[in-house]
Chain A
Amino acid sequence: MKLFEHEAKMIFAKYGIPTPRGGLADSAAQAREIATKINAPVVVKAQALVAGRGKAGGILFAESPDEAEKAAEKLLIMKIKDVSVRRVWVEEKVSSRKELYFSVTVDRANRCYVAVASSAGGIDIEEVAANSPEKIVRVLIDPVYGFGAYHARQVAKRLAYNGAQMLDLASIFLKHYQMTMELDVEMAEINPLMETIDGKFVAADTRLIIDDNALYRHPEFQKRSLEEAELTPQELKAQKSKLAYVKLDGDIGVIGNGAGLVMATLDVVQLYGGSPADFLDVGGGASAEMMAKALVIVFSDPRVKVVFINVLGGITRCDEVANGILEARKRVGFTKPLVIRLVGTNEEEGRRILTEAGIHVLNSMEEAAKKAVELMKAAGD
């Protein structure tokens, strides 16, 4: 679960990591109030979960409370990648001598956490990593012994800091790691981690992603997940029904079982010249009810012109899928053409149910994908 910058900053601050003084505003007047309290030049930042906020113009600088109010006004009517900005974060502008980078994340290949640091932080950090790997410090974290105080000092030292500054920085790294472990963080990043002109360190921008699978032991995050996330109506409905759904740009609605199969289905649809409107995985062992819900969600998307169901039953039973399709027809009717590929466990029964209801079923995924694209093209004419 991705957290907003303002949520992440509060958590970093709670762990004793210095962050700029700031506050959250959902109106321009409130932004002005916060800027007045800060009583110094501020940065007004659109709160959005989508990447590329800075480049989209979502970060504005303001010298006075007046300017902060105007900046907030501008941002609060803005859309970043189709998502409306609902709130802004107003914080003291930090004058920096240098921008550092620090993160703790998961290293899949080594099956452990990894700490990554650099003295060349800022928005170009990925290019730095690609072009000057020597500027990136990496420490694989032993699952049993963890990231100790001495690791933190080592990293600070390798970023070329000494004495009190080295100790300050090490203390930030250590707190950052402790937060990562205690909150089941998948990725925690400070970029930039600013060295101020008086030699102190401040986390100027922070990102935090909590491991979805560990939310059960962090009830404080569970509450927010549905109302706070930036979701389309279909995405919201899917999440409530525990269906994995991702909105895409095309017009062929795709439903299948298993993430890999659904991804391959999208690929095949595109291979034949179609364009998928969504990724919807009903999961393993889906019931008729889940299938019906999935179909209703896809039908409700106005951009969908044709629906393609691709099910290969393993633990999913074809008769359940067939009954789900009929249930969806009962609830909302077939408002759009439907292509169904249905094979695997209890295939005969599934086919019988659909055939008797006058619905045609196909055998091969590729044949079905072709058919869906043809119907799409016919609908477009």
Chain B
Amino acid sequence: MTENLGIFVGKKTKAIVQGITGAQGSFHTSLMLEYGTQIVAGVTPGKGGVTVHGVPVYDTVEEAVKEHPADASIIFVPAPFAADACFEALDANLKTIVIITEHIPIRDAIQLMNRARQLDAVVIGPNTPGILTTSECKLGIMPSHVFKRGVTGIASRSGTLTYEIAAGLTARGLGQSTCIGLGGDAIVGLNFVDVLKEFERDKQTLAVGLVGEIGGNLEELAAEYVATEGYSKPVVAFVAGRTAPLGKRMGHAGAIVMGKAGTAKSKIEAFEKAGVQVAEKPSDVAKLLSKKLAKPRS
């Protein structure tokens, strides 16, 4: 029996699509099916009974998973209803939930993440391009053609920048194991440390690329983790926003909670101190990773 490759999702993942009858939901369901993802059912309240690209649609998640056992969900529901959709998926015992929707209120996102933690479920997003384990499973909206099967794991806070970097890796003949978008919102389900832990366990992944940006302190926490845990796989990072103006300050409260964290400078320094090389341009990520992989590890 072959082992599952990559992290969080793979060949065996059975997923439902919430919001499957909407324009985005329907369009991306067809692309996910094309990629080989097992989409077993869809949910749109009030549209139960129809099919979308051959996928049966139900009114509730409860009904959908009763007829079609599943372990994951991908959510395309509009922002005012997305949190409710995610609670519904959590209650139906789905353990991996990808929230594509952006603009979910912070208060709702906080409640969601708390519930997911209680139920030991993984939430990817919100405001994420999703997750893709090459040649096995795509739960997301990323363009499949930029990815190729391989040994680098990518975790990113940005959508298009992930494609830019993955395309760069692919062009250099370096494929990817799993690419995961953490999501662009203030409150997201996964941080870099969660993903680093998973990549460490994954046999397919030999090196990790982290794509960060200004704001928050996820990059600093990742650097600290790599330094203190003696991370066993090479890690390369890119941080977008070196030249962004410091316009988005939120009174003093942000600065007190975060300290100096949040600026590109703080993030880059933290990574370099932890021995994580930081790429100057997006294309340098592939260069640095291929150098790391070419070097025999001591």
Contacts and interface: CB of A to CB of B under 8 A. Distances in A.
Contact of A314 (B109, B141, B242, B252): B141
Contacts of A264: 161, 164, 238, 240, 281-282
Contact of A213 (B103, B211, B242, B249): B103
Contacts of B104: 213
B213 A187 contact: no
B250 A186 contact: yes
Nearest to A102: B253
Interface in A302-329: 312-315
Contacts of B251: 103, 105, 187, 189, 191, 207, 209
A265 B260 CA distance: 24
Interface string B262-278: 00000000000000000
A263 B256 contact: no
Given A112-B110, A125-B252, A106 B186 contact: yes
Nearest to B109: A111
A260 B250 contact: no
- For the complex of A and B, the 8 pairs showing the least CB-CB separation, nearest first, are A260-B158, A258-B160, A260-B161, A214-B105, A261-B160, A105-B253, A103-B253, A263-B240
10 contacts: A111-B109, A111-B110, A136-B256, A209-B250, A211-B105, A213-B79, A213-B106, A259-B213, A266-B243, A267-B242
A284 B143 contact: no
Interface in A219-276: 246, 248, 256-261, 263-264, 266-268, 270-271, 276
A116 interface: yes
Given A109-B191, A111-B110, A344 B163 contact: yes
B161 A271 contact: no
Contacts of A149: none
Given A129-B255, A315-B141, A184 B164 contact: no
A75 B71 CA distance: 61
B179 to A, nearest CB: 12
Contacts of B288: none
A144 B112 CA distance: 11
A126 B141 contact: no
Contacts of A187: 250-251, 253-254
Nearest to A266: B243
Interface stretch (B4-12, B89-97, B215-223, B229-237): B215-223
A336 B136 CA distance: 46
Interface of B: 24, 79-80, 103-107, 109-111, 113-114, 129, 141-143, 146, 156-164, 167, 184, 186-187, 191, 211, 213-214, 216-218, 221, 238, 240-245, 247, 249-257, 259-260, 280-283
Given A187-B253, A189-B252, 12 more contacts: A51-B249, A103-B252, A109-B216, A111-B114, A116-B256, A144-B114, A191-B251, A260-B156, A285-B24, A312-B167, A315-B143, A366-B281
Interface of A: 51, 101, 103-109, 111-114, 116, 125-126, 129-130, 136, 138, 143-144, 181, 184, 186-187, 189, 191, 207, 209, 211-214, 216-217, 246, 248, 256-261, 263-264, 266-268, 270-271, 276, 279, 284-285, 312-315, 343-345, 364-366
Contacts of A364: 283
Contacts of B217: 108-109
A267 B242 CA distance: 6
Contacts of B105: 184, 211, 213-214, 217
Contact of A271 (B157, B216, B260, B281): B281
Contact of B106 (A101, A136, A184, A267): A184
Contacts of A271: 280-281
Contact of A261 (B164, B214, B216, B245): B164
B190 to A, nearest CB: 11
Contacts of A112: 110, 114
B255 A126 contact: yes
A187 B213 CA distance: 21
A365 B256 contact: no
B141 A111 contact: no
B164 A125 contact: no
A312 B158 CA distance: 13
A143 B110 contact: yes
A26 B167 CA distance: 55
Nearest to B141: A315
B244 A266 contact: yes
Contacts of B191: 109
Nearest to B284: A366
A284 B146 CA distance: 17
Given A129-B259, A213-B106, A314-B141, A366 B283 contact: yes
Nearest to A315: B141
